[in-house]
Amino acid sequence: MPRLWDISQPLHAGLPVWPGDTAFAAETTWAHGPGCPVQVSKVTLSTHSGAHADAPRHYDPDGATAEAVDLTRSADVADALDDALPPRVLFRTFERFPADRWVSDFTAIAPELIEALADRGVLLVGSDAPSMDPEDSKDLPAHNAIRRRGLSILEGLVLDAVPFGDYELIALPLALTGLDASPVRAVLRGLPA
């Protein structure tokens, strides 16, 4: 059986979030006890918590929302051909993912690189950074290149333990109606030999 790598951030209190965004919180609303046979919890989080898929609505006021994201974009990574890229490309920019703190000077993706990837048939770009654009960007050039070229985005991936190579990518967003992004449980599966 092919090996699996979970490339999602665990969601927990203290999860680093974009400055000013909603912090993750969880509380028990029903607890096991007399008259209550179950536990039920409530969570509060940003749609951009942990590993997440940006919907086009995040950077385009008229863009598709989270429930309308094309799931085939997150399906699988085909073997790279001699002179071509696979349709989904993930970038590891951190030597070690900063799970315990916010890092403002993360590596963004240049819009020219987005254009070059789209020219070579790439459909989805993912990164371990929290955004494709720098934290202080107001014009979002990488997001806008993605919008213009019709690509999909995964951000906040944890790629520390994954060797360079080709994998099957499974990263399905929740069908959050009308929203700008969705947390995902992102997994890479080794390809059969």
Catalytic residues: 58
Helix (H, G, I), strand (E, B) or coil at 128: coil
Contact predicate 16/119, CB 8 Å: no
Question: Which amino acid is present at 144?
Answer: N
Helix (H, G, I), strand (E, B) or coil at 20: coil
Instruction: Let me know if 32 is exposed, middle or buried by CB neighbors in 10 A (0-12, 13-18, 19+).
Output: exposed
Give the CA-trace dihedral at 146, 71, 173, 51, to 10 degrees.
-50
Q: Which of 61, 48, 99, 86 has the alpha carbon at shortest distance from 165? A: 86
Contacts of 33 (CB under 8 A, 6+ apart): none
Contact predicate 84/116, CB 8 Å: no
Helix (H, G, I), strand (E, B) or coil at 165: coil
